[in-house]
Every structure is written in structure tokens, then in C-alpha cells.
Structure 1
Amino acid sequence: MSDPEAEPILLGNTKVTREDWLTVAMDLLVSEGVAEVKVLSIGERLGVSRSSFYWYFKSRKDLLDALLDAWEQTNTAALIRHAALPAHTITAAVCNVFRCWVDARLFNHRLDFAIREWARRDGAVRRIIDRTDATRLGAFQAMFERHGYEAAEAEVRARILYYMQVGYYALELSEPLEERLKRVPSYLLGFTGAEPREEEVAALVAYARKSAPSA
């Protein structure tokens, strides 16, 4: 028997893949919440029958599990990867993390918020969120420790850095990019206790402007 994931379903000249199902499911999760992530609704958006769903997924739960996995493989993986990047100073290291928060290709904050809303109603997802938050915090703490902070201080600074950004998204603040960028030096000083170098700030600002949706 052929592998269904290797042979996309054909509708005329349109190929409907597992990724298509996931993309539409994620769009629904973000825009309308997990309750609206329904096989029939996704199929209608894709223009395919409900039966084609079962080429790629065993059940709706299988699809939801795939969404959680995709979230961890994108948002969480990006934060861990950037926290571990080589940096000469702690302020440069935090700038690496900031790149995730100014570049939606690296970190989708709307998806993160949608997962947290889902977790409010699902204990299993709540446990996944708790585990993921601990993993992210551990990566940030390790980043501070690599730059000479004692474990206790590194843990607190990691919490301040992470919880501040989570709170920023939860409040749904919509500051203009340039306004956010003006505060970068002060944020870096507040998070690290160290004055950032001008070239570190300049590099982050240039990256943020280049990554902006209108760029």
C-alpha cells in the first residue's frame, strides 16, 4: 500500500496535503479557538470531503496533538535555539532572544496565546504548557548562567524576561514597532543589569525593521 503522506490528495489541479490540513486547523485555532477546529469546517475551507481527512489523521484528537507538536517545534524550539546562540555579552545574548519576539516567522505570539486559552479548558494541555514554560525558562536561565550570573539570580532574571513578554502578549498591547525599538536599551539594562553596546542595539533594530511585515 502506498504512503498517503507521500501522495497528496488530488482535486483537479489542486494538491491537498497534511500540511494544508494543519495550516487551516492552526488558522482556526488562532482566530476562533480550539472548539472550532472541526474536521468538517476544515474540509469545507479546503474544498475536500471529510473522508480525505483520514488519509493523514486517525482522529480529531490526532490533529489536535499534531497542532501542539507544531507549536512546540516552532515557537518553543525558536526560543531555545536563540537563547543558546553564541554571544560575547549577556546583552547580545538577550538581543538574540528578542529576535524571536520581533519576527513572526520565528515566534507566532497569536498561536502561543491560543494554546494558552485552550489550556484553560483542558488539563492535559495545561500540563503541556507548564512543561513548555519550564523548558523555556530553563533555556533562559542557562543563558544567564553562561554569562556569569549565579544560579539564583539567573533564575529570577530568566523569569522576569520571560514573564514580562508573556504578559505583554496577554495584554494585547499594540505599540508601533519604532516605539518598541526606542525602549530596547532600557529593556536590556533592566533585564540584565548591564549597559548594552551600541552595535548590539543597532543590529537588533536593523533586524527588526527588516523582519517587519511591511518590510
Structure 2
Amino acid sequence: MSKPIQRLSMNEETASAGNVKVTRDDWLDAAMDLLVRHGVSEVKILALGSKLNVSRSSFYWYFKSRKDLLNQLLEKWERKNTDVVVRYSEMPAATITEAVCNFFRCIISRDGFDYRLDFAVREWARRDARVRQVIERSDETRHQALTRMFERFGYPPEDADIRARVLYYQQIGYYALELSETLETRVSRVEGYLKCFTGVRPSQQEVDSLIEFARTVERP
């Protein structure tokens, strides 16, 4: 039996004809860039259209309104910054110190945690109670993932909870204070940080591997 012909909407016909200059992700990436650089108040349809060099009407191929865009932007932030913390905390590791090294890789990787975006969303939350709730949920999700990471290596629940909090909020606080350190200063503290966060002395191989990764990330 032949399938019935499905008629495309005008937007779908335009997209299928190759007339769409930008994608939904292009709009979201541009919105994210404006959010980070100038704050949520500057994430406006006209500004985005100008940035992407497309007409305002093309915005409505992907979004119902500016509110819809902001909702999807918030969802993308969660996928980018919260999901990546969970994923790295669940990576296989032979020791707890190796597991914490995985978390550090998540923080410093170019494709990992984006602290500038995170603080742009936190600034947004100061003006929007709904966004504040989303941040609180994400912080709890990240904390629980790190707690489970410690529990996998035999830490009692209460100990795992505290160590996860110290690890996570120390890292968030590091960026909140905008501390400026050279790479050499940071890597000189790797072994001490790992021992402090876990109570276990890391192997030299674990330390060297993380330092080499950090040096690779720093290279242009």
C-alpha cells in the first residue's frame, strides 16, 4: 500500500528548499554568547537577527517567542554544564583520586564545564525566581553525582556528602573569586588538592597525567 502524501508546512518547505540560513542551534549559540557577554537583558530577537545577519521572521521558524528562546537556552545550559559534570563523575576510575582527576578534566576541558556561562546564568537568576529554582536543581544534581562518585569507593554517605560539597563548591568559588594563577602555580598544587579532597595520596602517574592534560589544554 502506498503511503499518503504528507504536505509540508510553509516553514518546512522553506527549510527543505535550502533557504534557511541559520539553524535552531545557531540562534541558541548566538543567544548564549550574548548572555555571557552582556547578560540576559540583551538577549533580544532583533539583536540576535543582526548578529546572525538574518531577518527577524526567521526566528519564528524555531521559537514561539523570546520567552520560548530563553526557556530553550536554559535547557541547553543544563545539558552543557550539568550533564557534563554527571558524565565525568561517572567515568570509570581505578581509585578515588583518579575519579577526582576526571572531575578536574571536566572543569578544564575546552568541551567540558563552561564557568563563564554558569555565572551568566547565576546572574540571570538574581532577577528571575524561576531560573533560581533551575540553578538550585542543577547544583543538587551535580552534588549528588559527586556524592555517588565518593560512595563508589567506599566512603560512608555522610563523608561522601561533605567531600562532594567541598570539592564542588571550592571549584565554583574559585571561579566566583576570579582567581588568577599561572598554569605552573595551578599544577604545583594538584597533588595537595587531590589528597585534601580525598584523604588519599594520589599516585605519581595520576598527578603527571592530569598535569599533562592541563598543559595540553593551555596550548594554542
Please classify the TM superposition score into its range, dividing by the shorter chain length: over 0.9
| Counterpart residue type for residue 40 of structure 2 | V
Output aligned runs, 1:83-98, within 5 Å.
83-98=89-104
Q: 2:160 matched to 1:163?
A: no
CA distance in 1, matches of 2:15, 2:105: 34
Q: 2:33 is matched with which residue: 24, 27, 33?
A: 27
Q: Partner of 2:131 in structure 1? A: 125
Q: 1:185 aligns with which of 179, 182, 191?
A: 191
Match of 1:202 in 2: 208
Question: 1:8 Cα shift?
Answer: 8.5
The superposition leaves residues 56-98 of structure 1 with CA deviations (integer Å, 9 ceiling, x where unpaired) of 1011111111111111111111110110111111100000000
Distance in 1 (CA, whole Å) between partners of 2:74 and 2:182 is 30
Task: Please say if 1:69 is aligned against 2:75.
Answer: yes
Q: Counterpart of 1:125 in 2: which secondary structure?
A: helix
CA RMSD of aligned residues (A): 1.7
Cα distance in structure 1, aligned partners of 2:19 and 2:190: 49
CA shift for structure 1 position 174: 2.3
- Deviations for 1:91-132, whole angstroms, at most 9, x for unmatched residues? 000000000111131111100010111111100000000000
| Runs of 5+ unmatched residues, structure 2 | 1-7
Gaps of 5+ in 1: none
**What is the identity, as a one-letter code, of the residue corresponding to 2:54?**
V
Which residue of 1 is the match for residue 143 of structure 2? 137
Determine the C-alpha separation between the residues in 2 that align with 1:189 and 1:7.
56
Name the structure 1 match of 2:61. 55
Q: Which residue of 1 aligns with 2:117?
A: 111
Partner Cα separation in structure 2 for residue 152 and residue 31 of structure 1: 39
> 1:7 Cα shift?
4.3
Larger Rg: 2
Q: Within 1, Cα distance between the matches of 2:107 and 2:120? A: 16
How much identity, in percent, do the aligned residues show? 56
Number of paired residues? 211
TM-score, normalisation: structure 2 = 0.91
What TM-score, normalized by structure 1, do the two folds share?
Answer: 0.93
Residues 207, 67 of structure 1: CA spacing in aligned structure 2 closer, same or farther, 3 A cutoff?
A: same
Runs of 4 or more consecutive aligned structure 1 residues displaced over 2 Å after TM superposition: 2-11
